[in-house]
Chains A and B, each alone.
Chain A
Amino acid sequence: NAGVTQTPKFRVLKTGQSMTLLCAQDMNHEYMYWYRQDPGMGLRLIHYSVGEGTTAKGEVPDGYNVSRLKKQNFLLGLESAAPSQTSVYFCASEGRQETQYFGPGTRLLVL
């Protein structure tokens, strides 16, 4: 039981490049979330999903897209990366009583 895993752990992009961050969970959870965390700040919700095939916008969705084609996977895409998207990205899935389980994070640097 790996819980929530994220790939890659670290990535450097040039402005305008695209990439996809992968989140996987093996707990059979319906709800999954993508957050970003900037230095000295709390987490901010980007997008979330309440089940396979569904997604919704969070607090800071601009510049990101998501897909939930399989229940266990939640993908976060950056179509044209910008320096403002330099951040640490955390994925989470939600279990009983709204308890969220987080992955180890992906550190993204956009030059």
Chain B
Amino acid sequence: GQQLNQSPQSMFIQEGEDVSMNCTSSSIFNTWLWYKQDPGEGPVLLIALYKAGELTSNGRLTAQFGITRKDSFLNISASIPSDVGIYFCAGQLDNRKLIWGLGTSLAVNP
């Protein structure tokens, strides 16, 4: 099925560093969602974006809906050990189905 291009595939950073990851698509989406998944758990919604150009923050997380509606990025500032996990972007079409990125695996070294 269709998938989004998400990069980087994995990151290994030091605690306190900022992190940036992004997703791109050849298709236009109406909604972009960012999720975090811990091992053995379901994804947890972090940020939802509904308008092109929209910039939204949730604590140390900031995400933007690209102006072309074909991309989005997620930034994490001042990373902490509990930020470890896999981050997924997802674009949503009018039929409400989510198209998923392949995930960015984040490891934080204390």
A, B from the same assembly = no
Name A residues whose Cβ lies closer than 8 Å to a Cβ of B: none
Name B residues whose Cβ lies closer than 8 Å to a Cβ of A: none
